Chains A and B, each alone.
Chain A
C-alpha cells in the first residue's frame, strides 16, 4: 500500500533534522546571518513569506496514510493557525510556523516517515504522480515504485544538490495525464514497446513560469532498468551546462530551447553512453522488487460491480446523483470506486483544509478506504479504495464536512496559488478571485451545463497556479499600484497539453469575474454538440471570444 522507511531512510531523515536543528540554533544565537541561513533553511522547505515563515512539507507522489494526515492536522493545530494549504505539487504548506518550532515540526514529521527535505531550493523537488495510481483502469502498471526510486535517488544527491535552478519530476502510467507530466522538467510516462516490454517515454524541458514550454520527447522508449543512469545523464548535462548567469533562464527548459531538442538529446545520449561502464545504477531488480513489494495491491473483497443501493439512492436523490456522476470514478477492482473529495466548497480558498477537517478525513480514510488517501495536483483529496456499497454513507459524511461539492473538473474546481494574501513574490491576490468566481457560478445546474472547464489562477508571473495550462488562465499583475488580471485561453496540462494564449489587455479586479462570465457565455452560444470549452476554443480560435470580451468595455 505504501513505502515504509527502513534503517537507511530513518537514519537519513533523523540526521537531516539534527543538522537543521543545529543550523536553527546557530541562527538564533546570531552565529549565522539571515543571508547565510537562507540557503540552508530553503533546503528544508522553510520560506520567508510576507508575514511569517512558510513551511512546505512533501507528500511524496501525493500518497498519505491516515496516521500521517492526523499528524499534519496536529501540526496545523499546535504550530500554525489551525489549517494547512494543499498545493499543485502534492505538498502541504503551513503559513504561520515560528522559526524556533520548525525543528520540532520536522521531528513530528519524521515520526510518521515524512519530511520537508528539498521542498524548495535549487534541487530536485517532490516527485509527483497520478492521484489514481495503482487503482486507475487506464494504467499500464503502478508508477509509484518508480516515483519512490527517483525520490530516493535524488534525495541529498551529492552531485545534484546545487543545480542551476529547481527541478521537478512527474511520473504517470495512465492514458489520461493527471500528473501534468508535459509541464515538468522531466516527465516520465510508463509505456509498452512493440515487444510488450515496459519502459519509459522521457520528456524534458516542460515548465511554466515566465517562459512556459511543453516538454519535448527525447526518448520514446527507455528500458526500465536504465532509469537511474538516464536520469543521471540528464541531470549531469543540466548541472554542467544549464545557465547560471541569469536566474530567469536557469531552468532546464531554457537549455533545451537554446540548444534545440536534437542537439540537447545528442548530449544526453552521449553522456548516457559514456556512463554505461558504471553498472552501479543499472537496476537489476533486487532493490526495485523490494520497493515494488510495498505497493502490492491490498487484498480486495470479491464484490459484484453492481450496487443496487447506490442506484436506488441516486434515482431518488439528485444531490447524491450529482456527486456520484462528478466526484466518483471507476476503479480497476469490481465493486470498488475512487472518490474525489472536493477541497473547493463554494466561495472557499482552493486547497485549504482545517485541522478538524484533516482529522475527519483521516477517520473516513480508516473507515472507508483502507486507511489511505491521496492529494491531487488539482488541490483536492482522493479516497482511492472505497467499496461501492459504502458510497451513500461516505457521501453523507462528506456532506457534513462540506467536502461533497460535486464540482470536480467543473468551473468552480479552480487551481489557485496563495497569491498576495500570503506570498511575497505575488503581484496580485489570487484566492479572492477564485472565491468570487466560485460564488458567481455557484449554481450547480449552470456548472453542469458549462461542463468540463479548467480555470487556473496565478498571483504572479512565476505561475504557481499554472495559469498557462488553464482552459481559462488568469494571471494577477500589478499596474500603477492597482491589481489587474491578464486572461489566457486554450491551455491544457492533459495529454493534449498546450500553453494558453493571451486574449488581450488585462482587466481590473472588479471586472475580471465579469470577463470570465462573458467568455463562458460566448462558449455556450457557439458550442457544437459535445464540445468542451477547450474544444470550441480550438475550433473557432480567439476572435469570437475577443470580440465579445472587449466589445463590452
Chain B
C-alpha cells in the first residue's frame, strides 16, 4: 500500500504481523494490541524495531505505560468518518510525549491528510488504488490555521495565537 512520509512517497520498512504469525527476527514489526498484551514478555526479546497498531476503540491510555517500548504506533481509521484517532494522535504527542512515528492506517481520505499532519501523524498509509500524487498535493491545501495543534515546531502553516507566549 502506498505510504506517504515527510510529504513524499516512502518505502515501507515495517511488516504488520497477525495474531498467530511468527515474529520475523531482526525486522521492524507491528503487532496488534491483543498480541502485545498477551505476549509482551516474548516480544521484549525481539531484536528489531517494534510497533503497535491500535483500533479506533483502543485509546492510547491502554499502552501509556509501555510507550517506551514502541518505535511506531499505527492508529486505525476503520472508515474515514471515524475521527477518534485524531484525538489519540494529539494525546500521544502532547500528553504522553511520544516521539516515535505515528502512522495513519485504514480508510484514509486525501482530504484528511492536512488535519492528520497537524495532529501529529507523520506517516500516512493510503488505501490501495488511491491517488498518491493528489494526496501529496492535498497536504499543502492550507497555509494557515486558526488553532494550535501538535505540529507547532515545524508547522508549515501560520497559526492564530490565542495566547501570546
> Which chain A residues have a beta carbon within 8 Å of chain B's beta carbons?
7-8, 11-12, 15-16, 18-19, 23, 39-40, 122, 149, 152-153, 155-163, 228, 236, 239-240, 244, 274-275, 278-284, 286-287
Residues of B participating in the A interface, judged by any CB pair closer than 8 Å: 56, 59, 80-84, 86-88, 90, 94-95, 109, 111-112, 114-116, 118-119, 138, 141-149, 152, 158, 160-165
Given contacts A39-B80, A239-B84, contact A281 B162 (CB under 8 A): yes
Q: What number of A-B contacts does a CB cutoff of 8 Å give?
A: 118
Least CB distance from B131 to A in Å reads: 8
B148 near A280 with CB under 8 A, answer yes
Contact B146 A155 (CB under 8 A): yes
Q: Please give the distance in Å from A98's CB to the nearest CB on chain B.
A: 23
21 of the cross-chain contacts (CB-CB < 8 Å) are A12-B144, A19-B141, A40-B111, A122-B83, A158-B114, A158-B145, A159-B115, A159-B149, A162-B80, A162-B81, A162-B112, A228-B147, A239-B83, A239-B86, A280-B148, A280-B161, A281-B147, A282-B162, A283-B162, A284-B165, A287-B161
Contacting residues, chain A, for B59 (C-beta < 8 A):
240
**Are A161 and B81 interface neighbours, CB within 8 A?**
no
* B119 / chain A contacts, CB cutoff of 8 Å: 158-159
- Shortest CB-to-CB span from B22 to chain A, Å, is 34
* Chain A contacts for B149, CB-based, 8 A: 158-159
Q: Are A274's CB and B95's CB within 8 A?
A: yes
Q: Are B142 and A159 in contact (CB under 8 A)?
A: no
Query: Which one of A7, A23, A284 lies within 8 Å of B164 (CB-CB)?
Result: A284
Contacts of B147 in A (CB 8 A): 152-153, 157-158, 228, 281
Determine the chain A residues whose CB is within 8 A of the CB of B83 once the complex forms. Answer: 122, 159-163, 239
Closest 8 CB pairs of A and B: A162-B83, A158-B118, A158-B115, A280-B148, A152-B146, A159-B86, A284-B163, A11-B144
Given contacts A19-B111, A158-B119, 20 further A-B contacts (CB under 8 A): A7-B144, A8-B144, A12-B142, A12-B145, A15-B143, A23-B111, A122-B81, A122-B83, A152-B146, A152-B147, A153-B146, A158-B147, A159-B149, A162-B80, A162-B81, A162-B82, A244-B56, A280-B148, A284-B163, A287-B163
Bound-complex Cα distance A7 to B144 (A) = 9
Q: Which residues of B contact A281 (CB under 8 A)?
A: 147-148, 162-163
B163 pairs with A8, CB closer than 8 A: no
Nearest chain B residue, comparing its CB with the CB of A152: B146
| Chain A residues, CB < 8 A from B162 | 149, 153, 228, 280-284, 287
Instruction: Flag if A161 contacts B87 (CB, 8 Å).
Output: no
Closest to A236 in B: B87
Cβ–Cβ < 8 Å partners of A152 in chain B: 146-147, 160
Which residues of the partner chain B approach A244 to less than 8 Å between Cβ atoms? Answer: 56, 81-82, 84
Report Cα–Cα, A202/B116, bound state, in Å: 30
Q: How far is the CA of A153 from the CA of B147 in the complex (A)?
A: 6
Q: Shortest Cβ distance from B58 into chain A, in angstroms?
A: 11
The answer to whether B80 and A156 have CB atoms under 8 Å apart is: no
Interchain CA distance A278-B112 in the complex, whole Å:
25
Bound-state CA distance A269–B146 (Å) is 24
Tell me which of A158, A160, A163, A283 contacts B163 (CB under 8 A): A283
> Which of A16, A40, A162, A287 has the largest count of B CB atoms less than 10 A from its CB?
A162
Residues of A within 8 Å of B141, CB to CB, are 15, 18-19
